[in-house]
Amino acid sequence: MRNVLEYKDGEGFLGSSHNWEEKVEMGKGRSFGIELMAQKTAGRLTGWINYTLSKTDRQFAVGGINDGKRFPYQYDRRHALNLTLNYQLTRRIDFNMSWTYTSGCMTTLPKEKTHTVLPPVNVPPSWITDNIHQGDIDHYSSRNNYRLPASHQLNLGFNFHKKTKHGERIWNVSILNAYNAMNPDFVYISRESGTGKPILKKMTLLPCIPSFSYTYKF
């Protein structure tokens, strides 16, 4: 892949979009892998299973993003496994189930932090001796240097069919993330109260969610 875009080191999508082209850099990428699939299409029980092994990365000019070194793409998921089953319970009721497992995405986290004392600019030396700015600087070993924990999820559903004079109506009852797996959508570094020790925390946006739907076919 050529002419792929990434935000430069220290830039992001937050803030003003003015002169956005100055915040990004153009480079090249690779994506390769293998996919295997088995499927059953006959009988009351049908379904399929799929496995994908893949790798995706990016590379930019020397002196640019990640100093020209190749790094994993943000959405590089090394392993992905999908299982889907459908079972015809009766003529009017069917059951479906799907289970997914994927490696976590990549993100960038600081490996260490340095406490610095920085004087302001364009001031006389006498002012610097009396007033100094102190702060912490994060150090990053490379772009996308941390892989989030793997995600897995089970979805269950029932469909209730009924023929009508002019078509068919279907009621669906489903549960998304049936066993409430707390999959990480993103992670962040926090501090323990009292000790100040850095700890890594995760945030989950979609827990177990029930759903109902109605479909009419004509």
120, amino acid identity? P
Residue-wise pLDDT for 83-113, tens only, equals: 999 999 999 999 999 999 999 999 988 888 7
Could you tell me the pLDDT band of residue 121, with boundaries at 50, 70 and 90?
low
**Taking residues 4-17, what's their average pLDDT?**
77
- Cα(39)–Cα(83) distance, integer angstroms: 10
Average pLDDT over the chain, rounded to an integer: 87
Q: Is the pTM of this model over 0.85?
A: no
Could you tell me the pLDDT band of residue 164, with boundaries at 50, 70 and 90?
confident
Residue-wise pLDDT for 182-216, tens only, equals: 998 888 888 788 777 888 888 888 889 999 999 99
Residue-wise pLDDT for 48-63, tens only, equals: 999 999 999 999 998 8
CB 73 within 8 A of CB 57: yes
